[in-house]
Amino acid sequence: MSDNPDPRQNHLLDALPPAERERLLPHLELVAMPLGQAVSESGMHMRHVYFPTTCIISLLYVMEDGSSAEIAVVGNEGIVGVSLFMGGETTTSRAVVQSAGHAYRLKGQLLKDAFLRAGPMQRLLLRYTQALLTQMSQTAVCNRHHRLDQQLCRWLLLSLDRLPSNDLTMTQELIANMLGVRREGVTEAAGDLQRAGLIRYNRGKITVLDRAGLEARVCECYQVVKTEFDRLLPAQHIL
Amino acid sequence: MSDNPDPRQNHLLDALPPAERERLLPHLELVAMPLGQAVSESGMHMRHVYFPTTCIISLLYVMEDGSSAEIAVVGNEGIVGVSLFMGGETTTSRAVVQSAGHAYRLKGQLLKDAFLRAGPMQRLLLRYTQALLTQMSQTAVCNRHHRLDQQLCRWLLLSLDRLPSNDLTMTQELIANMLGVRREGVTEAAGDLQRAGLIRYNRGKITVLDRAGLEARVCECYQVVKTEFDRLLPAQHIL
DNA sequence: TCTGGTCTGTACGCTACTGTACAAAGGCCA
DNA sequence: TGGCCTTTGTACAGTAGCGTACAGACCAGA
């Protein structure tokens, strides 16, 4: 995959049959996604859907008291805005850029039209939505049963899978917001990982040094989600 | 709604236009759903989908070590088996009867056919699936941030909304499995609710005495889920 | 009427967090 | 170079829930 922007860096767009992709191509607009930008707000109609290529979007729920929790994460394997084709138009969650980069956006109505053509696009979007369901389920399970250090490993691995390099730009404060825990808890867990030689970090830059080491520490949740994504959205789609 | 079994006790079936419902009616089979029965297993293909009328089904994830956590709950407002029309065929979760009663079942292929006709049935099922997404999200949030006693209130209210009476047949042990906590924790939280006069229970029978009292104690999660279900699946569907 | 099983209550030390407070270190800009 | 802000580290008491243990209450069946 080249560094030049290309819609096919997004796996959903890449998996479309050429004819379908050609139809969308003129309407896809490359946009920069700066860290922290809110792509959609809870309960608000979305004008566009987003196909990330090099950015990562977090879906998070913000509580009345302001605390938050990440529900799921969307990178170049997916799309932000499933509620448009699911029929609800809005969601209770908020979508924010967790890792800066780019995405292609498409007018909501055009996506709905494509969905309603009931072809490969529809099948693809529904399978992706099921994968998203699994990710949300597993977030619920992980929040219930697993320790912070394991959740941090899961979070790092899920992010890593959606980025081209081993570097994340991400302060501990932001990670804490995503996981819905105290910043100090992240400091401690990340310190352990650093002392174990699995990661290195420095003022908002995290480098994963030993991916296998993270996989050895992570809870089963990570593998469940990854396996399900691979099953539902294989590299070569048979639509 | 009469006590006689009627497919229209299930809100999804009730919301279909008459023509569509007539088409499905001959294929709907009323089945008894005894407490504890597994409707579907993680990773296994489902022969049928289920439209509960008087039973409640829990979707739960069972971990490698045997502990479990409820992801979502399905009653007469929904359907068990969304993975069939979403295209994945299987799920990572398990579906078990949490409250005995009845359901109508339908051969999986017939549901897929109905879905692919791309009419009201498809729109309805997709809106329901979005509501399910919200419920799962909120389970994740609640597991992260709220105390056991609030989660118990949420669980009781969600169950109550799916049953015709104020009585649940449910031991504390089972509730603990659903919530993914210790049985003793449920004993304590339920004891508090009983002392406050909100519920009465006795060896597997729980009676809700003061629903408003529960609503006063519950966290915001319950209301978020309920509002979203009402929004996506109103009593009179405009399809 | 006795017995065994299921369900509920209570207690105790332990762990993983929380809330709070403050200090130190790194980077940016005047 | 100095000063400020952001980011990270550490500490400490408080709390919710865990693992474990055990006892009492209730029910069904012999």
The dihedral region occupied by B122, where left means phi > 0, alpha psi between -120 and 50, and beta the remainder, is: alpha
What does each of the 239 residues of chain A score in pLDDT, given as a tens digit? 446 889 999 999 999 999 999 999 999 999 999 999 999 999 999 999 999 999 999 999 999 999 999 999 999 999 999 999 999 999 999 999 999 999 999 999 999 999 999 999 999 999 999 999 999 999 999 999 999 999 999 999 999 999 999 999 999 999 999 999 999 999 999 999 999 999 999 999 999 999 999 999 999 999 999 999 999 998 765 55
**Do A33 and A96 lie in a common domain?**
yes
Task: Report d(CA B186, CA B176) in Å as an integer.
Answer: 6
- From A3's Cα to the closest Cα of chain B, the distance in A is 33
Residues 21-60 of B with CB under 7 A from strand C: none
Q: Say if B45 is an interface residue toward chain A (CB within 8 Å).
A: no
* Co-location of B127 and B73 in the same domain: yes
What pLDDT score was predicted for residue A92? 98
Residue that finishes a domain, picked among A93, A123, A143: A143
Q: Are residues B15 and B129 in the same domain?
A: yes
Q: Minimal Cα–Cα distance from B66 to chain A, Å?
A: 12
Please state, in angstroms and rounded to a whole number, the distance separating the CA atoms of residues B218 and B154: 6
User: Is B145 part of the contact surface with chain A (CB cutoff 8 Å)?
Assistant: yes
For residue B106, report the phi and psi dihedrals to the nearest 5 degrees. Answer: -140, 140
Contact partners, residue A62, CB within 8 Å, separation at least 6:
A42, A68, A94
Closest in B63, B71, B134 to A92, CB measured: B134
CA→C1' distance for B171 and C3 (Å): 23
In a domain, B233, yes or no: no
Residues 79-118 of B with CB under 8 A from A: 82-83, 85-88, 91-93, 116, 118
Residue finishing a domain among B143, B172, B203? B143
pLDDT in tens, B182-198: 999 999 999 999 999 99
Which bases of strand C have any atom within 7 Å of the beta carbon of a protein residue?
6-11, 16-21, 26-27
Q: What pLDDT, in 10s, does the model give residues B13-37?
A: 999 999 999 999 999 999 999 999 9
Q: Are residues B39 and B137 in the same domain?
A: yes
The reply to whether B234 falls in a domain is: no
Q: Are residues A108 and A163 in the same domain?
A: no
Residue A32 shares a structural domain with residue A130:
yes
The whole-number average pLDDT for the span B86-94 is 98
Mean pLDDT of chain B: 95
Residue B189: give its domain's CATH number: 1.10.10.10
CA A185 / C1′ C5 distance in Å: 45
Is the sign of the CA dihedral B118, A73, B227, B6 positive or negative?
A: positive
Q: How far is the CA of A48 from the C1' of D6 (A)?
A: 34
- Domain range spanning residue A193? 147-218
If one counts the domains in chain B, the total is 2
A143 touches strand D (CB under 7 A): no
What distance in Å separates residue B127's CA from the closest CA in chain A? 6
What pLDDT shows up at residue B238? Answer: 55
Do B36 and B152 lie in one domain? The reply is: no
Please name the residue of chain B whose CA is at the shortest distance from the CA of residue A224: B92
Q: Is the CB of A181 under 7 A from strand C?
A: yes
3-class secondary structure, B158: helix
Residue B158 resides in a domain: yes
Residue A126 sits at the chain B interface (C-beta within 8 Å): yes
Same domain, A139 and A116: yes
Q: Do A136 and B141 touch (CB under 8 A)?
A: no
User: Percent of chain B having pLDDT more than 90?
Assistant: 95
Does the residue A185 lie in any domain? yes
Structure confidence at residue B186 (pLDDT): 98
Query: What pLDDT score was predicted for residue B2?
Result: 45
Indicate whether B103 belongs to any domain: yes
- Structure-derived torsion over alpha carbons of residues A219, A225, A227, A233, reported in degrees to the nearest 10: -160
pLDDT at B154: 98
**Closest CB to A93 among B129, B137, B231:** B137
